[in-house]
């Protein structure tokens, strides 16, 4: 097989990574942007989403699509509720102090991880995809009779993988619409701009914070539900999404949603391509190197505004 089909395959894998990463990172970016706190437990909310999806699909049984459909709605809601609870009981009491919040969310990370280990166990569990038709991808080749379409063996994807990409695009558009066009989005943006003035104009900032923290966690959980039929659920699966989300959020510009999405596509695609042609470790090394370069030459991120 020539290089071309490999490249398509790698880009497709990369696009799935990018889609899931964009959802996860936008959640982290939203929390950082509005609340100015760093949530180290973000990856654990991702993991909880996958584990709860496994649990729900197992409980409901029946055709995979039904259980998965329920999990797609219920798991993010449950994880969001857990995050709101954590916000109201922990972060609010720390007055959202940036340093103390980092320490507190590190604690939260271990609590969630250990509780999951104790209840869910150390094994990885699969979730059946709701649909999984194999789709072959054609390739053009120059044969005896000129250009012809061929169907190289191994070049293909599944309908589910394409659906993951589509779903991520739809959800991201929804988040953008909510921020830009709705009343609650306006309140969030005002809170992000100036917390004290938001209070002085009647915005219940604490409720906005709880909502944003819950939404951020729900987005991570949603990303995990989407990926779990491809990747399996495991209690330690939160590490990579956390690292990659941080990379994406820093490259994209802290708190900038469009920047976060662009950076997620960049990192996701290059991660997919480099992983296929070289090794996943090299992909992570290069991404981390990119972060260092961005921090040195453009500390506000590719899309961040200067001077905040």
Partner 1 sequence: MKSTPIARCRPPIWGGMMLELKAINAGYGRAQVLRDLSLRVQSGEILCLLGRNGAGKTTTMQAIMGLIPLMSGAVLLDGEDISQLPAHEVPRRGIGYIPQGRRLFNGLTVAENLEIGLMARKSGHDTLEEVLDLFPRLRERYRQRAQTLSGGEQQMLATARALCLRPKALLLDEPTEGLQPSMIEAIRQVIVKMRQTGVAILLVEQRVDAVLSVADRVAFMENGRGEAVMDAENLRRDHSIVERYVGV
As measured in angstroms, the least distance from the Cβ of 157 to partner 1 is: 40
Which of 102, 137, 203, 236 is close enough to bind partner 1 by CB under 8 A?
A: 203
Instruction: Pick between residue 206 and residue 302 the one whose CB is nearest to partner 1.
Output: 206
Tokens of 142: 């120059």
Pick the stretch among 36-44, 118-126, 202-210, 220-228 that binds partner 1 (CB under 8 A): 202-210
Binding mask 205-224 for partner 1 (x = CB under 8 A): xx------------------
Rounded distance between C-alpha atoms, residue 166 and residue 74, angstroms? 20
Alpha carbons 161 and 148: distance in angstroms, whole number: 27
By CB under 8 A, tell whether 92 contacts partner 1: no
> Is 131 near partner 1 (CB under 8 A)?
no
- Closest approach, Cβ 201 to partner 1, in A, equals 5
Residue found under tokens 């009981």:
89
Q: Is 99 in the site for partner 1 (CB under 8 A)?
A: no
Closest approach, Cβ 33 to partner 1, in A, equals 11
Q: Candidates 50-58, 167-175, 179-187, 223-231: pick the segment binding partner 1 (CB under 8 A).
A: 179-187
Per-residue string for binding with partner 1, 181-200, x by CB under 8 A?
--x--xx-xx--xx-xxxxx
User: Considering the rule CB under 8 A, would residue 94 count as an interface residue with partner 1?
Assistant: no
The answer to the question of residue 307 lying near partner 1 (CB under 8 A) is no
Q: How far is the CB of 204 from partner 1 (least distance, A)?
A: 5
Q: Compare residues 134 and 183 and give the one whose CB is closer to partner 1.
A: 183
Shortest distance in whole angstroms from residue 7 CB to partner 1: 40
Does position 88 interact with partner 1 (CB under 8 A)? The reply is: no
202 binds partner 1 (CB under 8 A): yes
Question: What's phi and psi for 43, nearest 5 deg?
Answer: -65, -30
Q: Judged by CB, which is closer to partner 1: 2, or 196?
A: 196
CB burial of residue 47 (10 Å; 0-12, 13-18, 19+): buried
For the residues of the chain, what is the DSSP string, one character each? --HHHHHHHHHHHHHHHHHHHHHHHHHHHHHHHHH----TTHHHHHHHHHHHHHHHHHHH-SSHHHHHHHHHHHHHHHHHHHHHHHIIIIITTTTT-HHHHHHHHHHHHHHHHHHHHHHH-SS-B----S---EEE--EEEEETTEEEEE--TT-EEEHHHHHHHHHHHHHHHHHHHHHHHSHHHHHHHHHHH-HHHHHHTT--HHHHHHHHHHHHHHHHHHHHHHHHHHH-B-TTTTHHHHHHHHHHHHHH-TT-HHHHHHHHHHHHHHHHHHHHHS-HHHHHHHHHHHHHHHHHH-TT-SSPPS--
* Closer CB to partner 1, 169 or 205, in the complex: 205
What's the closest the beta carbon of residue 97 comes to partner 1, in angstroms? Answer: 13
Single out the segment in contact with partner 1 by CB under 8 A; choices: 65-73, 112-120, 204-212, 286-294: 204-212
Residues that bind partner 1 (CB under 8 A): 183, 186-187, 189-190, 193-194, 196-206
């Amino acid at each position: 097989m020539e290089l071309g089909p490999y490249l398509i395959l790698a880009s497709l894998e990369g696009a799935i990574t990018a889609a899931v990463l964009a959802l996860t990172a936008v959640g982290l970016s939203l929390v950082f942007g509005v609340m100015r706190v760093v949530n180290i437990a973000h990856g654990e909310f991702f993991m909880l989403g996958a584990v709860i999806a496994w649990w729900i699909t197992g409980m409901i049984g029946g055709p995979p699509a039904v259980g998965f459909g329920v999990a797609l709605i219920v798991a993010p809601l449950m994880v969001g509720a857990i995050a709101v609870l954590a916000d109201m009981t922990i972060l609010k009491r720390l007055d959202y102090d940036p340093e103390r919040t980092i320490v507190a969310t590190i604690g939260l990370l271990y609590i969630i991880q250990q509780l999951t280990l104790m209840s869910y166990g150390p094994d990885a569990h699969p979730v059946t995809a709701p649909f999984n038709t194999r789709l072959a991808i054609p390739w053009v080749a120059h044969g005896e009779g000129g250009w012809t379409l061929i169907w190289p063996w191994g070049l293909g994807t599944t309908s589910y993988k394409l659906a993951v990409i589509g779903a991520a695009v739809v959800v991201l558009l929804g988040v953008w619409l909510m921020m830009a066009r709705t009343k609650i989005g306006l309140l969030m943006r005002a809170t992000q701009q100036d917390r004290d003035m938001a209070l002085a104009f009647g915005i219940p900032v604490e409720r906005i914070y709880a909502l944003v923290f819950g939404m951020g966690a729900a987005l991570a959980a949603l990303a995990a539900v989407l990926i779990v039929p491809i990747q399996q659920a495991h209690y330690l699966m939160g590490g990579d999404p956390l690292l990659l989300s941080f990379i994406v959020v820093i490259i994209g510009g802290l708190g900038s949603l469009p920047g976060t999405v662009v950076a997620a596509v960049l990192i996701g695609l290059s991660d997919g391509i480099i992983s296929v042609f070289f090794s996943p470790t090299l992909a992570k090394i290069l991404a981390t190197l990119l972060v260092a370069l961005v921090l040195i030459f453009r500390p506000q991120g590719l899309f961040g505004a200067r001077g905040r």
